[in-house]
A and B are shown apart, each in its own frame.
Chain A
Amino acid sequence: MASPMSPGQQPTIATENGRAARPVAVPSGAPLAVRGLTVSYGEKPAVFSVDATFPAESMSAIIGPNGAGKSTLLKASLGVIPRLSGDVYVFGQAIEKARERIAYVPQRASVDWDFPTTVMDVVQMGLYRRVGLLGRLSGRMAARARDCLDRVGMADFAHRQIGQLSGGQQQRVFLARALAQDADLYLLDEPFAGVDAATERAIIDVLKTLKAEGKAVVAVHHDLSTVRDYFDHVFLINVRRIAEGPVATAFTTGNLQATYGGRLAATHLDELSPTGGA
């Protein structure tokens, strides 16, 4: 099993004189900390100068309207898309040194499910970093991949071609692949998009188990009505950072209005956010 987080790890930027190299100090050892992140696809920035800190042993939601840069924030943090500026720290280390501590679930629609491969094969891709280019996939690793499939209730589908699965089943396979990575930080890009209720339940159970095991979970999330049930921590973004913090204090009507502008009706906001204004 993975080692627990090492609390003594220091961020790599210098803070001796009380002033960090960047304006905001990096919290020591936070599972994921982003500083000054800017990403642009063309002229207009998709994410502008964002600072974000996602806490340990909790489930965090990245929330914002369509085109607000939620997925971009996640992908740029991972280095999947290039960042114009900014630094990313994973457990206080530069991300390049901490990749084996991260598991990633991309958007389901980002791949071609017609690809000639099986469910088990996809899950084993989560082990590729460990086995390397030519290393043998040991019996123990194969057993581990089967175990991960079992955890998402997909053990019976191990030898199916992935295109023959339903959307919810495909999402579970992606989650099983992330579990096979055996990481301390789980980053998920819209894990509940277009899945059936049973799959949503199965996924949230797995994520809550991860949290109970001391892992950190960060998910791009769309459905505001489930934020309170599923998550402990929210990060509200609309190109810039709007707010972040525990659900109880940051998931407020005022913050949601600031994030979504006029796109959410006031009555809707009241339903979502019984705690009232900020």
Chain B
Amino acid sequence: MGAEFVQFSLTPILIGVFAAIACALPGNFLILRRQALIGDAISHVVLPGIVVAFLLTGMVAAIPMMIGAAGAAILAVILIEAVKRLGQIEPGAAMGVVFTTMFAAGVLILEQSDTSQVHLDVEHALMGNLESLIWFRADGWGSLLDPAALASLPDELPRIALVCALVVVLTLVFWRWLKIATFDEGFAQALGIPAAAVGFGLMVTAAVAAVAAFDAVGSIIVIAMFICPPAAARLMTNRLAHQVWWSVAFATMSAILGYVFAGYGPLWFGAQNAVSAAGMIATVSGVILGLACLFGPHRSRVGAGRDEAA
């Protein structure tokens, strides 16, 4: 692997790995809270956020769009909480109501405005443009030490790396609160831990991770990474800390293998063109989950505990 790898594959793979980890970490807690659908919800509401940001600013620049997306995601989180509490219904139903409505509104606004002429097409929203995030100025591993070459790295890389680092730090700092508020919310509140705020913070963190990942890799990966690596990890262990490590490993494997299979896999079978990296990464994560379901050492426990305890 030489200059060509660094120029064409290194940055997309790194972006894919950071995006996968940033989504998988909060995903661990979301699946344990039976809120995994929130990843789906957020990646849908991102659309109206981006469209409105474009209409307000008239720019296809990343920063206003990410602000719009984050705003829409946080609005959705608040609306989901409100629908859940005021309607006294289960979280899944509240998410379903909010995200379908906001996504539909996004489609309508997109259609009514001229935004469909610009880069805001649905395919981009789904697939992202991972393959295009190449490092033009790189001419080998030495470029990693060359300030001029480093300055031309795609903007998405430092952005998703920063968000990934933020998610890692938040997970480490709030580890105990996340664990206890997820396992036993009532007990956490009795201890004086702000369990509701922890839950809300988790959703906002998930929203920020989803928006940053969406910007770089599209919503297919976002949805897959919130659910598949943590769910597969749950089947590998009965310890939360080990589960989180497994999920990071699975997310990383999905991103690397998915990118390699998408880029080179079709060539091995004699095809001419590569397939979508985002689609392949999501598919690999699903295959990993399938294998964990078949061969994971703790697969029989999942879903069995509640019936037994009741």
Q: How far is the CA of A41 from the CA of B86 in the complex (A)?
A: 11
Assess whether B304 is in contact with A106, with CB atoms less than 8 Å apart: no
Is B254 close to A, CB under 8 A? no
Known: A42-B88, A163-B301. Contact between A125 and B184, CB under 8 A? yes
CB-CB under 8 A from A133, the residues of chain B are: 173-177
* Closest-CB distance, A61 to chain B (whole angstroms): 20
Known: A114-B306, A133-B173. Contact between A102 and B180, CB under 8 A? no
Is A111 close to B, CB under 8 A? yes
* Closest-CB distance, A238 to chain B (whole angstroms): 23
Known: A111-B183, A116-B238, A117-B239. Contact between A129 and B304, CB under 8 A? no
Is A170 close to B, CB under 8 A? yes
- B interface SS class: helix
Is A96 close to B, CB under 8 A? yes
Is B193 close to A, CB under 8 A? yes
CB-CB under 8 A from B176, the residues of chain A are: 128, 131, 133
Is B182 close to A, CB under 8 A? yes
Q: Which of A8-41 contact B (CB under 8 A)?
A: 41
Assess whether B182 is in contact with A115, with CB atoms less than 8 Å apart: yes
Is B302 close to A, CB under 8 A? yes
Known: A116-B238, A118-B238, A170-B309. Contact between A161 and B301, CB under 8 A? yes
Assess whether B301 is in contact with A114, with CB atoms less than 8 Å apart: yes
Assess whether B177 is in contact with A115, with CB atoms less than 8 Å apart: no
Q: How far is the CA of A118 from the CA of B240 in the complex (A)?
A: 9
Q: How far is the CA of A42 from the CA of B306 in the complex (A)?
A: 27
**Tally of A interface residues using CB under 8 Å:** 36
Is A157 close to B, CB under 8 A? no
CB-CB under 8 A from B136, the residues of chain A are: none
Assess whether A115 is in contact with B239, with CB atoms less than 8 Å apart: no
Assess whether B239 is in contact with A114, with CB atoms less than 8 Å apart: no
Q: How far is the CA of A134 from the CA of B174 in the complex (A)?
A: 8
CB-CB under 8 A from A233, the residues of chain B are: none
Known: A128-B176, A133-B176. Contact between A118 and B239, CB under 8 A? yes
Other-chain contact of B243, A41, A116, A129, A177 (Cβ < 8 Å): A116
Other-chain contact of B183, A79, A115, A167, A170 (Cβ < 8 Å): A115
Is B187 close to A, CB under 8 A? yes
Assess whether B191 is in contact with A129, with CB atoms less than 8 Å apart: yes
Is B44 close to A, CB under 8 A? no
Q: How far is the CA of A161 from the CA of B240 in the complex (A)?
A: 11
The 13 listed contacts between A and B (C-beta, < 8 Å) are: A75-B186, A104-B191, A106-B184, A112-B32, A112-B306, A116-B238, A116-B242, A118-B238, A125-B180, A128-B180, A133-B177, A163-B304, A177-B187
| 10 A-B pairs closest in CB distance | A114-B305, A163-B305, A161-B238, A104-B190, A113-B309, A113-B305, A99-B192, A80-B186, A78-B190, A106-B186
A contact residues vs B (CB 8 Å cutoff) = 41-42, 75, 78-80, 96, 99, 102, 104, 106, 108-118, 121-122, 125, 128-129, 131, 133-134, 161, 163, 167, 170, 177, 187
Extra pairs beyond A114-B305, A116-B242 (7, CB < 8 Å): A102-B190, A112-B32, A115-B182, A116-B32, A125-B184, A129-B191, A163-B301
